[in-house]
Amino acid sequence: MIILEMPQRSDEWFKVKAGIPGASSFSRIVTTKGEPSKQAQDYLYQLAAEAITGQVEQGYQSAAMLQGIEREAESRALYELIMGVEVKEVGFILHDSKMFGCSPDGICGSWGLEMKNVLPKTQIKYLIDGSLPADYFQQIQGSMLVTGFDRWHFMSYVPGLDPLIIQCEPDLKFQAKLKEQLEIFCFELIKIVKKLKGG
C-alpha cells in the first residue's frame, strides 16, 4: 500500500482522488456477491470525466451527512478511549497497483477504522442487528484489499446511544472477485481516458 498524507476533503485530497476508484464506491462496481454492479457504467464515466478534467464530482450532501462529518473528531476520540489506542489519520491509501484506493477514517497499527455518524433511528437498528451493515461490506472488504490488513473495525455512533464497534475479518473469496472486477473496471477506465485524450 502507498499512504498519501494530506487532510481528507482538502483540495489536495480531491486532486489525488480524481479518476481513481475509492473503496466507499466499490459497491458501484461490484455487488456483495462479487458480481458486476448495474451502476458500474455510470461510475466508469464519472471517473473518466474526473481523470480528464482533474475535478472530482462531489455528490449531494444532506444535513445529516454534514453533521456526521462534523462529529468525526468526537467519534474518533471516543473510539480511542474505548479501545485504548491512538488513531492515525491518513489522507488516501493507494493499492500497490496504483489503480484504486481507500480513504479510511484512521489506521491503528495493523488494522483500519471506518466510522459512521448515523441518525439515532439507524443506530438503534445497527445495535439490534449487532453486525456489519450490508451497505458497507464492499467498502470494508475493499479497504482490507487495498491495505493488506487482516482486520478492520467498523464503528457507528450517535451521542446519547451506545456506540457499535464490529471487528471485520477478510472474506478472501469475495476479495478475489472484487480484485478481478476492479482490474476489469480500471483497464476499461484507462482505455476510455486514453481514447478521449487522443492517446
Mean pLDDT split into 10-residue runs, the chain, 199 residues: 86 90 96 94 96 78 61 90 94 94 94 95 96 96 96 96 97 96 96 86
**C-alpha to C-alpha distances, 1 to 32, 43, 95, nearest whole angstrom:** 24, 23, 5
pLDDT score at 10: 86
pTM for this prediction: 0.90
Which domain covers residue 70, as residue numbers?
Answer: 2-196
- Domain of residue 13, CATH code: 3.90.320.10
pLDDT score at 11: 87
pLDDT score at 144: 98
* Buried residues in 160-181 as b, exposed as e (16+ CB within 10 A): eeebbbbebebbeebeebbbeb
Q: How many domains does the chain have?
A: 1
pLDDT score at 56: 82
